[in-house]
Structure 1
Amino acid sequence: MPIFLSNQSVEMPMLDQGTEIFKTLQHLSTLIQSLKNPLGTRDNPARICRDLYNCEQRLHDGTYWIDPNLGCAADTTEVMCNFTAGGQTCLKPVTVSKLETGVGRIQMNFIHLLSTEAVQHITIHCLNTPVWAVGPSLQPSSRSVSFKAWTGVKIQAGDLLEPLIPRDDCWIKDGRWHQTQFIFQSQDPNLLPIVDVLNLPTADGGARYHLEVGPVCFL
């Protein structure tokens, strides 16, 4: 006895497959468009701020969203974009006193790959305790603080990575708060952010200190 198949039973799988292909093409088209013209929003993040700067130079400095590895939306990161400085991507610390940015290692590695330089400011506020120099000559002492870079490298006085010190008056012991400012600027973006401060003074005998951690900015 012959078996007859209706046209509907044959054509429906083909229609379903065509719909799925169309949806996939639409998604790919939207993805390509977002890569070509990122908006810096959570739904349409840029890789880094420089991408936004290159696409549209009339954007204002402020808060934007980036996704350096262009992965899933779950790891997009909110940053400060400094277009005035050419499109810097600035990561703020989780709190002003902590050397943490809240950015995962994978995303940070991609930021490093996409950048050519980095800068970070750290200030140590001091009460009756020196952290760099011990007198008005402002020469670093053997007890100067040192720093641990993102790569694990130790940054200390006297080496090629020594930070700039625009101000250092922590050596003054007059019962008042003073500060020492450190500027880390490198053509090797992998060194930043700073992840630890080493050899900090012991807080005793009326001596006190606290950190003020600035954002780390990549370009």
Structure 2
Amino acid sequence: MDIHAAIQALVASNSALQMESYQNTEVTLIDHSAEIFKTLTYLSSLLSSMKSPLGTRDNPARICKDLLSCEYKLSDGKYWIDPNLGCSSDAFEVFCNFSAGGQTCLSPVSVTKLAFGVGKVQMNFLHLLSAEATHVITVHCLSTQSAGPGWPVSFKGWNGQIFEENALLEPKVLSDDCKIQDGSWHKAQFLFHTQNPNQLPVIEVQSPPHLGTQRKLHIESSSVCFL
């Protein structure tokens, strides 16, 4: 083979390899650019959903007030929240009372049970994100004989503090017919409103031991609302 022809063949081969390498690099850069664009699009969508949540199961708000501050107007009703903003799988449904300033209201699992189906972590975050809380308890009572003066019960709050008559933590008495001693069922209604949200909800109603079987009780719980 002629030396010049060999050199020309070598140069041509090297040029072809360089072109192939350049094309492969270009393809790789295009692939990386596409991945970066997809990531940026996802992050943009995530930030947008956090800034303007929809209150759905897939896009929950932290609390109802977050929905109230959105640009679009929403009606009172049921929405999904996730106070700790972790995985949306632990989000839960609440009633948002926008008419009352954006209250987040948790319904009891049953009106006769002081349980709300929300874990401690989520409840603690809800407390941290709130400035006040409200809860109404109705006590239905049946007295078989005179049980003396005073309320028939005391109340244990979420953080273990006790609400009772003539104490620092004393609920507002909305009505009290339990003082009537006629052998019939009556009721007393108590409003708990506190600027220390971790005191609520009420988790236990306690009847004084000295009453024994003289008085029969059962309770009715409203929703507990945080603002």
Give your verdict on TM over 0.5. yes
Displacement of 1:75 in angstroms is: 0.8
Residues 100-157 of structure 1: CA distance to partner in whole angstroms, max 9, x if unpaired? 1111111111111111000000111112269xx945xxxx35xx42221111112222
Residues 161-192 of structure 1: CA distance to partner in whole angstroms, max 9, x if unpaired? 10011111112232322101111100111111
More helix by percentage: 2
Which of 182, 187, 191 lines up with 2:195 in the alignment? 187
- Provide structure 2 residue ranges, at least 5 long, that are not aligned to the other structure: 1-12
CA contact (8 A) 1:40 1:46 kept: yes
- TM-score, normalised to structure 2, is 0.81
Which of 75, 80, 86 lines up with 1:65 in the alignment? 80
- Provide structure 1 residue ranges, at least 5 long, that are not aligned to the other structure: none
Q: Which has the larger radius of gyration?
A: 2
Residues 9-56 of structure 1: CA distance to partner in whole angstroms, max 9, x if unpaired? 656655554443333222211111112211211122111111111224
| Percentage identity across paired residues of the two chains | 55
Runs of 4+ aligned structure 1 residues displaced above 2 Å come to: 2-24, 173-176, 199-205
Size of the aligned set, in residue pairs, is 210
Instruction: Assess, with a 3 A threshold, how the Cα gap between structure 1 residues 57 and 218 changes in structure 2: closer, same or farther.
Output: farther
Q: How do residues 114-129 of structure 1 correspond to structure 2 at under 5 angstroms?
A: 114-128=129-143
SS of 2:138's partner is: strand
CA distance in 1, matches of 2:119, 2:169: 25
- TM-score, normalised to structure 1, is 0.84
Aligned residue type for 2:47: I
CA contact (8 A) 1:203 1:209 kept: no
1:97 maps to: 112
**Cα RMSD for the two superposed structures:** 2.7
> Does residue 166 of the first structure (1) align with residue 174 of the second (2)?
yes
CA contact (8 A) 2:59 2:88 kept: no
1:217 maps to: 225
Residues 38-79 of structure 1: CA distance to partner in whole angstroms, max 9, x if unpaired? 121112211111111122473211111111111111011100
SS of 2:69's partner is: helix
